[in-house]
Amino acid sequence: MGEGIFLQVKGITKSFGGVMAVKDMSFEIARGEILGVIGPNGSGKTTLVNLITGFVKPDSGEVFFKHKKITGLPPHKIADLGVTRTFQIMRPYHSLPAFKNLIVPLNSPRIRRTRGGKLGDKDGVAIDILEEIGFERDAYVPYKIASSLPLGYLKRLELARCLALKPEVVICDEIFSGLSMSEISTMVPLIEKLQMEGMTIMMIEHRLRELFRLVNRVMVMNFGEKLAEGVPEEVMENKEVREAYLGTEAALC
Amino acid sequence: MNILIYGTVNSIIFALVAVGFTLVYGVSRLPNFAHGALYVLVGFLTWSMVNDFKLFYPFAILISLGISSLLGALIYRLVLIRLRGLPTSEIIASFAVGLIILEGLRLQGIGGFKGFIGPFYVLPSFIDAKIKIAGVLIDAQRLIVMLGGLAVVVSIWLFTHHTKTGLSLRAIAQDEQAAMMLGIDSDRAAIISLSIGSALAGLAAVIILPLGNVTAEAGYRILINALAVCIIGGLGSWAGAVLASFVLGFAMIISTALFGSVWESVVLVGAIILILIFKPSGLLGKQKELEERV
Amino acid sequence: MSRETSTIQRRKERLDRGIKVRTEGLYALTSWREMFYLLVPRTLLIFGLLLSPFFLEMYWQRVLCQAGIYALLALGFDFLAEYVGLVCLGGAFFIGSGAYLSGLLNAKLGWAPFFTIPIATVAGAVISTLVLLPCLRLRGIYFAIISFMFPLLTVYIIIALNIFGGTEGITALATFPNIWVDQYLILGGVIIALFALRRLVTEDIGLILRSIKDNDQAVKASGISITSYKTKAVFIAALLGCFGGAYLSHLYGWVGISQFALDYSILPIAATVMGGMGTLVGPVIGAFILTPLSEALRGFGQMRVVVYCLILIGFIVYKPEGLMNVLQRKYHQFEHWEEV
Ligand SMILES: Nc1ncnc2c1ncn2[C@@H]1O[C@H](COP(=O)(O)OP(=O)(O)OP(=O)(O)O)[C@@H](O)[C@H]1O
Ligand SMILES: [Mg+2]
């Protein structure tokens, strides 16, 4: 594990009008690693995700996945290569049962390829994926209409949508935010399990305590720039980081 | 030289026609598919007032512009306001309003109304004369089109960049939610923009129409030209609309000079297809329609 | 001072009959009565359509054929607008390309309608899709604008370049052997298209299309190219329109620029809005109501356009759910007034 670079970001920059949302960011993620990304609100974390996954085109800079340049590819091509992401603002397909929400990724060319063109019982596959991620089948949760599910399940559903694609890299944009402690504590083992299975994960998070339990490394962003990077304890010792967080979320840690 | 002068006139005609549509779309994201209909309506209103009611020409123009801007406001107040946020319905409804006006003008036999059909409706030129510029003979109306168009474009620019109302309209166009928090009412802005936009459609009509005759069919052509300019320039972009007007204006005059006027429509279609293939957001369009905040 | 209010507050209480809900995907029909309840509307519609030719005079039989064409267009419009999120203002373009293609094939190559109709349907749909392809990448109102412009511009081009018979059109095309073939061809087409589309929207592709309309970002993030799916959807809608066009050319034995006329773009929209967007059945019913109405107004020239635009605006503003949704609700729920 850890041999070589899996996902590499080189000097990526994006400005919206006058706002420098992301400024000359460079970093790498190794295979099987969990990288945490933290930073105050508006520091450009979501924009960074958008840049990696092709939803926003960078002004300059490049992203490589397995040494292949992926900048400039459309989002669905990047997802097709195995780099998927969750959305901070979830919009599941409300009027359908939860498992039907996974029909879309299960119809993707990526899944078609891995199954040699035969898709088989998609509903069954969808329910299996959901069960694995904590939708209790015995309580018929996977069959519930999406709009009737509580937030915790919706966040899982969002993650399940990514996992249905059998990805190699998952980028989670604040999947813990808005959840209660107990809800988070049931999700943490899920992420750990994913890592055990060899998934490479990038986690954007505001909940530092929970994040630090999971990650191998964290990166701190402020005003679109990288402030610090390293193991969690070291990073939080950093004076600049403390300053950036002071007043906003100093209470944490 | 000929091409230069006629190309400029033609370009300004395009710009005049498109500027109202762009204004409305730029401010309130409402595609006003009734634009062409309002243009034609003002033409006929003015004609009726001058010929049937014997009104003084400038008066007639002012009154019909007033009616047109009132109509614009009414369209919003009565119909579109209930459909905000439903783009499908907005488009369909404004299109239907436009059709009612255009086809209504051609109605026959209701209440003794004869319907405006045929080539008999001609608005008088402001000044009937021909002037020679750099060896090219040109009638005064075309000069008026040129100057009037320039004046309109410049004053719209001044309005939106230097007056309080104009600035708040632009604020809405940029970020509706933020503008609403600052106390700018988006419904009021939409009404204002629609009434100004409709008046602009009318203004374009009274400036341009004396060059030819008024027909209801022209409404479709005008709408199409306005849409073409907006697509090529980039929806909602001012500078883009002006630039696209010149591109189209000259492209048409040149193609007419080279191959004959039948190729005009082909040039228009070609330009649209080319732009959609190579730069879908338009010449100066921001990527807004393509890239949404995620 | 509290004054006694003599008026009793009433509100409408709705009770679901519980048939629809249980049948959604599970098909748990518990009695013949429920089965009957579900089958009646479908059977009524199919037999109503199929038997109607026997009760009509010659003139109205022709109108029925027209209505069938409009119904196909309305189906296509509803499918694109509600299930894919594309507002197509240019149904006339589909009609026009289907009609001109089959007209040309028949007039220039002498092929029989039996061949020209299928060929023109498919080829016309391919052409229409290709023309609309560039704007499928764009969100927002681009599709509406472009689809609105193309039929009109095509007319200008045909007139200006004087191709395909110019303003005269192409005349003396083969017609169908008799009025029964006329009618059953289009009625069959409508019924097949209706039930095929209803099936399609509940299949996976329909689900993906609706997800694209709801949240295209998530679909892209799921590794699916939304443009390719939109292309497929436009192709399907174009197939319906082009079939209508090809049929039309042989119905009257004539093709002309009026086949690009606005009627073909606007009446289907009015029918859809009136019948109920998103129901697929609604638009068909709307077309079979509006077409005879507009035919009755033919004597008044442009009156018919004005009338169906008024109907359109009336429905879109005051009854946006449309007839079919109201009827379905009434059918599946008991309604009664309850005192509060
Ligand atoms: N599409 C866009 N257009 C204009 N400005 C944008 C756009 N997307 C983001 N921004 C701006 O870029 C900056 C960074 O935003 P971003 O959403 O990346 O922050 P974030 O770190 O994810 O914040 P949060 O913690 O609140 O999720 C902000 O100032 C935001 O207003
Ligand atoms: Mg964010």
Q: Does C297 touch chain A (CB under 8 A)?
A: no
Contacts of A78 in chain B (CB under 8 A): none
Give the residue from chain A lying closest to B286, CA to CA: A17
- Please give the Cα distance from A189 to A206 (Å, whole number): 18
Alpha carbon B85 to its chain centroid, in Å, reads 23
Q: Which atom of ligand 1 is nearest to the CA of A39?
A: 21
Q: Express each pLDDT in B196-246 by its tens digit.
A: 999 999 988 888 888 877 888 888 888 989 999 988 988 877 888 889 999
- Please give the Cα distance from C95 to C109 (Å, whole number): 21
Chain B: nearest CA to A51, how far in angstroms?
A: 11
Average pLDDT over residues C34-45: 79
- B290 pLDDT tier (thresholds 50, 70, 90): very low
Give residue C224's pLDDT: 92
Q: Express each pLDDT in C230-281 by its tens digit.
A: 999 999 999 999 999 999 999 998 898 888 888 888 899 999 999 998 889 9
Helices C226-252 and C58-78, interaxial angle, to 10°? 170
Residues on B contacting A at a C-beta cutoff of 8 Å: 291, 294
Average pLDDT over residues B82-98: 86
pTM of the predicted structure, to 2 decimals: 0.88
In a domain, B239, yes or no: no
More confident residue, A12 or C141: A12
Q: Which pair of structure tokens corresponds to residue A10?
A: 């080189």
Give residue C106's pLDDT: 93
- C8 residue type, one letter: I
The mean pLDDT of chain C is: 85
Give residue A117's pLDDT: 59
- Please give the Cα distance from C80 to A159 (Å, whole number): 30
- B113 pLDDT tier (thresholds 50, 70, 90): low
Report the run of H or E that residue B181 belongs to, with start and end: helix B176-181
Give the residue from chain A lying closest to C215, CA to CA: A91
- Please give the Cα distance from A48 to A45 (Å, whole number): 5
Chain C: nearest CA to A92, how far in angstroms?
A: 8
- Please give the Cα distance from A77 to C180 (Å, whole number): 52
- ∠ CA(C295), CA(C299), CA(C304), 5° rounding? 55
Q: Measuring CA to CA, which residue among A90, C231, C135 is closest to residue B276?
A: C135
Ligand nearest to the CA of A21: 1
Average pLDDT over residues A11-22: 87
Is the pLDDT reported for residue A237 higher than 50? yes
Ligand 2 centroid distance, CA of A202 (Å): 13
Q: What is the CATH number of the domain that holds C43?
A: 1.10.3470
Question: Is the CATH code 1.10.132.10 the one for domain A2-246?
Answer: no
Is the pLDDT reported for residue C32 higher than 80? no
In a domain, B155, yes or no: yes
Complete DSSP assignment for A95-134: TSBGGGGGHHHHTSHHHHHHTTT----HHHHHHHHHHHTT
Give residue C16's pLDDT: 61
Q: How many domains does chain B have?
A: 1
Contacts of B294 in chain A (CB under 8 A): 46, 49-50, 55-56, 87-89
- B102 pLDDT tier (thresholds 50, 70, 90): confident
Residues 292-311 of chain C whose Cβ lies under 8 A from any Cβ of chain B: 300-303, 305-306, 309-310
Range among B67-71, C38-42, C133-137 rated most confident: B67-71
Q: Does C222 touch chain A (CB under 8 A)?
A: yes
- A186 pLDDT tier (thresholds 50, 70, 90): confident
Is the pLDDT reported for residue C294 higher than 60? yes
Alpha carbon C182 to its chain centroid, in Å, reads 19
Give the residue from chain C lying closest to A102, CA to CA: C222
Ligand 2 centroid distance, CA of C45 (Å): 52
- Chain A: list its partners (3+ Cβ pairs within 8 Å): B, C
- Please give the Cα distance from C324 to C328 (Å, whole number): 6
Helices H / strands E in chain A, number of each: 10, 10
Question: In this structure, are residues C286 and C275 in contact, taking their beta carbons and an 8 Å threshold?
Answer: yes
Give residue B291's pLDDT: 45
Q: Express each pLDDT in A132-168 by its tens digit.
A: 888 887 778 888 888 888 888 888 899 999 999 999 9
Give residue A247's pLDDT: 53
Q: Which pair of structure tokens corresponds to residue C36?
A: 């009957």
Contacts of A87 in chain B (CB under 8 A): 294
Question: In this structure, are residues A85 and A175 in contact, taking their beta carbons and an 8 Å threshold?
Answer: no
In a domain, B281, yes or no: no
Report the run of H or E that residue A76 belongs to, with start and end: helix A75-81
A251 Cβ contact list (under 8 Å, min separation 6): none
Q: Which pair of structure tokens corresponds to residue B228?
A: 């073409």
Question: In this structure, are residues C206 and C288 in contact, taking their beta carbons and an 8 Å threshold?
Answer: no
Least confident of A62-71, C271-280, C285-294, C319-328: C319-328
Q: Express each pLDDT in A70-95 by its tens digit.
A: 998 999 999 999 999 998 887 787 77
Q: Which domain holds residue C278?
A: 39-332
Q: Which domain holds residue B153?
A: 2-105+136-215
Is the pLDDT reported for residue A207 higher than 70? yes
Is the pLDDT reported for residue C102 higher than 90? yes
Pairing of strands A83-85, B136-139: unpaired
Give residue C242's pLDDT: 96
In a domain, B56, yes or no: yes
Interchain CB contacts (distance < 8 Å): B and C = 135
The mean pLDDT of chain A is: 86
The stretches of chain C forming alpha helices (DSSP H) are 19-23, 32-51, 58-78, 91-109, 113-132, 142-161, 179-202, 204-214, 216-221, 226-252, 263-275, 281-296, 303-318, 322-332
Cα torsion angle, B216, B217, B223, B225, sign = negative
- Please give the Cα distance from A85 to A126 (Å, whole number): 18
For chain B, give the longest Cα–Cα distance: 59
Q: Whose CA is nearest to atom 5 of ligand 1?
A: A16
Give residue A2's pLDDT: 43
Q: Whose CA is nearest to atom 2 of ligand 1?
A: B293
ipTM of the complex: 0.86
Give residue B289's pLDDT: 42
C73 Cβ contact list (under 8 Å, min separation 6): C91, C94, C95, C240, C241, C244, C264, C267, C268, C287
- Please give the Cα distance from A46 to A23 (Å, whole number): 13
The mean pLDDT of chain B is: 82
Is the pLDDT reported for residue C300 higher than 80? no
Q: Express each pLDDT in C158-171 by its tens digit.
A: 888 888 887 788 88
Q: Measuring CA to CA, which residue among C129, A225, C210 is closest to residue A241?
A: A225
The neighbouring-strand residues paired with A65 are A7, A68
Q: Whose CA is nearest to atom 20 of ligand 1?
A: A42
Give residue C25's pLDDT: 46
Complete DSSP assignment for C183-196: HHHHHHHHHHHHHH
> Three-state DSSP class for A61?
strand
Average pLDDT over residues A21-35: 92
In a domain, C121, yes or no: yes
- A65 pLDDT tier (thresholds 50, 70, 90): very high
Is the pLDDT reported for residue A32 higher than 50? yes
Buried residues in C178-212 as b, exposed as e (16+ CB within 10 A)? ebeebbbbbbebbbebbeebeebbeeebbbbbbbb
- A246 pLDDT tier (thresholds 50, 70, 90): low
The neighbouring-strand residues paired with A200 are A169
Average pLDDT over residues C290-310: 83
Is C245 exposed, middle or buried (CB count within 10 Å of its CB: 0-12, 13-18, 19+)? Answer: buried
- B83 pLDDT tier (thresholds 50, 70, 90): confident
> Are residues C157 and B265, on separate chains, in Cβ contact within 8 Å?
yes
Question: In this structure, are residues C264 and C305 in contact, taking their beta carbons and an 8 Å threshold?
Answer: no
Q: Express each pLDDT in B216-227 by its tens digit.
A: 888 888 898 999
> Are residues C309 and B272, on separate chains, in Cβ contact within 8 Å?
no
Give residue B5's pLDDT: 82
Ligand 2 centroid distance, CA of A99 (Å): 27
C241 Cβ contact list (under 8 Å, min separation 6): C72, C73, C76, C91, C93, C94, C95, C98, C124, C125, C128
Give whole-number Cα distances, B97 to A93, B56, B100, B104, C305, in Å: 34, 30, 5, 10, 11
A45 Cβ contact list (under 8 Å, min separation 6): A37, A38, A39, A173, A204, A221
More confident residue, B61 or B116: B61
Give residue A116's pLDDT: 67
Average pLDDT over residues A171-196: 88
- C1 pLDDT tier (thresholds 50, 70, 90): very low
Give residue C3's pLDDT: 43
In a domain, C313, yes or no: yes
- Please give the Cα distance from C340 to C338 (Å, whole number): 6
